[in-house]
Chain A
Amino acid sequence: MASHSKSRWADDEEDAALEAQRKREKELKRKVKAEKQRKLEEQESLRRQNPVDATEDATHDHEAINGAAERPFKRRKLSPEPDTPLKELPPAKLLRFPAPEWGPCRHVDNFEKLNHIEEGSYGWVSRAKETATGGIVALKKLKMDNSNDGFPVTGLREIQTLMASRHTNIVALREVVMGDKLDDVFLVMDFLEHDLKTLQEDMLDAFSPSEIKTLLLQLTSAVDYLHSNWILHRDLKTSNLLMNNRGQLKVADFGMARYYGDPPPKLTQLVVTLWYRAPELLLGAEKYGAEIDLWSVGCIFGELLTKDPLLQGKNEVDQLSKIFELCGIPTEATWPGFKRLPNARSLRLPSISQTTGNVLRAKFPLLTTAGSALLTSLLSPNPAQRPTASEVLAHPYFREDPKPKSTAMFPTFPSKAGQEKRRRLASPSAPKRGDAPRIAGEAADFSGIFANRDTEEVGGGFALKLI
């Protein structure tokens, strides 16, 4: 709006005159329009007062079919005999609801175990093949804690929340199968080649900025989906983020997940792996919500940038001090009421203002302004200042260059979980001192050329087979 802000190039009087002129023109146009509308309405009412003759009726019908606005006419038709006009309506297209079925769990014998993958916080995971279809899946055995409360509530919640979550960036639970004992319960899930933690450990460089954006977008859209369905994940970390060779990220391990509500029910504070745990949990807040997942997202963001976990505390106190070192010490102004949190009373905090600054910007000098603004907001100690997942998705960081990389363009890696290894080519070493080898006698014998094929390292994907 150039005319509103005062420009020193413009002549004020002329501007004002121009503006007035424009206003007048606009007013005139509006009046003409209103007049037109009024005339139309008058015609309409006139037509309605006239007795409806046959030809007009036909045109009305025609118009009604075409969906033209003939409201008053239709309304009158509805009065005493409601059946006649209703019959003319086309049959309504009704939404059919999906109706999955239930039956007893299948037996785990339907799957053939291939190899062990990892031991998570709530069970053992192995790669398996479904014997009937040959499909590769991940089998997760639920850990039964020996508590007196029967089937562990964490396992029930994991199944409950995973079943309710159908999203491209959340690992799909296909079914639950059982073993011979009553305690043997396995979750059958999609198998993904990598988890982000192991992948990063094997990579030489961190992900590129465009790749980080794609990963972060996928993670956040999963978190957004969960939160809009009132599910807290409560254990977001890189080892729980799975990735396939098509660059798709999927959130896994719902062992800590649960439904929450507003107002939040009483929840346990012993959640989230220490390095990804939000300060309000460390300070013993009685009530917490979706913000704790976004703190973890912030930690993962930082980890993707440097390839190393951002805040590696040795224990709860150390974790808190590392957080305050990086994000600044909260004050009554930046986080009202934080001093009243159960564990905050025992903290002795320096009150010097110099040490309370935020050093995130300095730690990630290569991050753009938008990027570091996003990281800083995700890692705000005050949960109220963290953005929601949907706000993160709309953040300008994802719209500036470099743009998020298409998942199809992601590099592929050998899968540890799938027992693939990098092909290691033994390069010859420099010749040793001594006599120069004579070729004549031995070199004629090439029989050893294909020997030791078995000891060679084999890649997972494509290999030439010798028969």
Chain B
Amino acid sequence: MAPEPEQLSSLSNPLATVDQLSTSSSQLDGVPADLEGSLRFAGAKLTQAAGILLRLPQEIIAQAIVIFYRFYLGSEGGSFRINAVKDVSAASLYMTAKISFLPQSTRSVLNVYAYLLSPTSPLRQPSEGITGKEKPDAESYYLSEGSYHSARATLLQTESILLRSISFITQVTLPHHLALTYLQTLGVLPPSPTTKSSALAARTLAHLNTALFSPQLLYLTHQPPHLAVSAIYLAAREVGVKLPSMEWWEVFDVDRETLGFLVVGLGSCEGWIEGENEKWTEISCPLTLDELEEEIRRRDVENG
């Protein structure tokens, strides 16, 4: 008997519709499409960095990034010109942690974001890093009591706005654990790991984490089994592990076409990320509303 579709929620996610992918609230507000892509990437990077500083497991960070993407999607979603990248990133991380086993206080979240947005933050530095400079100025990321209270008000308000625009669907199923199960099913992850099998598993998970930054929003367009299978396919090729010479992906309900698309998508992530890092060497990608307005003005001037 085929399982009821409703029983598959532990394997699947809500996906973006074609309409949601073709237009966005930000574009309607006059944010150029390429800038929108950069803002998404910067937001995901910010969330990942904050999650690491808060010592949250990758599971919660990945879920927060997916929820961050969900918010800005579609013409009815949020707009980068109304809700700043930094606020939505903080709200999604705070909210995701709240319903997890590792809730975080508003103070720790806001402290981390204050640091990451300060001029001393590694995210705000050109790629050379801060090695050559003097000690980072602690004043620049100190959160005074007054600014803490106003920042908290913004955080909590953004949380409500975020929840409303994703209609409270906070469930995000990740492909990571599926990928490990699939590797075991394929017989390439023996109980006592070899160097090769460990490398394969690590590479698979690395691809899944990189896919979080894909401009194609792979986590919003593809189901977890699809992502897991394509990450395994790519990782096995790179590590040189032989997988069954038949259409094994069909066992996991993935067709050849989807697999091909995703493998190309995963493979293109590296180039995109390098491009983004090069693009924002002179100035850092706008994370606040003021910075975004300035960037849009600058572009208007450039284009005459």
Interface of A toward B, CB cutoff 8 Å? 78, 82, 86, 92, 94-105, 148-151, 153, 156-157, 159-160, 163-164, 166, 175-176, 178, 182-183, 185, 229, 259, 261, 265
Residues in A with CB closer than 8 Å to B70 are: 102
**Is B103 interfacial (CB-CB < 8 Å)?**
yes
**Is B156 interfacial (CB-CB < 8 Å)?**
yes
Residues in B with CB closer than 8 Å to A156 are: 95, 98-99, 163, 168, 170
* Interface pair B165/A104, CB less than 8 Å apart: yes
* Interface pair B250/A94, CB less than 8 Å apart: yes
Quick one: given A82-B245, A104-B76, A104-B164, are A166 and B9 in contact (CB under 8 Å)?
Answer: yes
Quick one: given A86-B247, A97-B12, are A105 and B5 in contact (CB under 8 Å)?
Answer: no
Q: How many A-B residue pairs have CB under 8 A?
A: 117
Q: Which of A97, A103, A149, A160 contacts B171 (CB 8 A)?
A: A160
Quick one: given A148-B106, A150-B106, A164-B9, are A178 and B164 in contact (CB under 8 Å)?
Answer: yes
Residues in A with CB closer than 8 Å to B156 are: 149-151
Residues in B with CB closer than 8 Å to A183 are: 160
Binary flags per residue of B236-265, CB closer than 8 Å to A gives 1, else 0: 000000000111001001110000000000
Residues in B with CB closer than 8 Å to A229 are: 10
* Interface pair A94/B161, CB less than 8 Å apart: no
- In the complex the two chains form, what is the Cα distance from A13 to B165 in whole Å? 84
* Interface pair B15/A166, CB less than 8 Å apart: no
Residues in A with CB closer than 8 Å to B87 are: none
- In the complex the two chains form, what is the Cα distance from A99 to B14 in whole Å? 5
Q: Which of A97, A176, A261, A265 contacts B223 (CB 8 A)?
A: A97
Dominant SS at the B interface? Answer: loop
Residues in A with CB closer than 8 Å to B170 are: 156, 159-160
Output the least CB separation between A172 and chain B (Å). 10
**Is B155 interfacial (CB-CB < 8 Å)?**
yes
Output the least CB separation between B162 and chain A (Å). 9
- In the complex the two chains form, what is the Cα distance from A103 to B77 in whole Å? 7
Which residues of B108-166 have CB atoms within 8 Å of chain A's CB atoms?
A: 152, 155-157, 159-161, 163-166
Quick one: given A102-B169, A176-B167, are A157 and B9 in contact (CB under 8 Å)?
Answer: no
* Interface pair A150/B159, CB less than 8 Å apart: yes
Which A residue sits closest to B73, measured CB to CB? A102
Quick one: given A99-B14, A150-B156, are A164 and B171 in contact (CB under 8 Å)?
Answer: yes
Quick one: given A82-B246, A102-B14, are A163 and B171 in contact (CB under 8 Å)?
Answer: yes
* Interface pair A103/B7, CB less than 8 Å apart: no
* Interface pair B245/A105, CB less than 8 Å apart: no
Binary flags per residue of B77-108, CB closer than 8 Å to A gives 1, else 0: 10000000000000000110011010100100
Output the least CB separation between B195 and chain A (Å). 28
Known: A101-B20, A149-B156. 16 other contacts (CB 8 A): A82-B246, A86-B247, A92-B247, A94-B254, A100-B15, A100-B169, A101-B15, A148-B106, A149-B98, A150-B98, A150-B156, A156-B99, A156-B163, A166-B6, A166-B9, A183-B160
Residues in B with CB closer than 8 Å to A160 are: 99, 170-171
**Is B51 interfacial (CB-CB < 8 Å)?**
no
- In the complex the two chains form, what is the Cα distance from A221 to B284 in whole Å? 55
**Is B225 interfacial (CB-CB < 8 Å)?**
yes
* Interface pair B95/A151, CB less than 8 Å apart: yes
* Interface pair B253/A95, CB less than 8 Å apart: yes
* 17 interchain pairs, CB-CB under 8 A: A82-B246, A86-B246, A92-B250, A99-B15, A100-B15, A100-B169, A101-B14, A102-B14, A104-B165, A104-B167, A105-B165, A105-B168, A149-B98, A150-B94, A150-B98, A178-B164, A183-B160
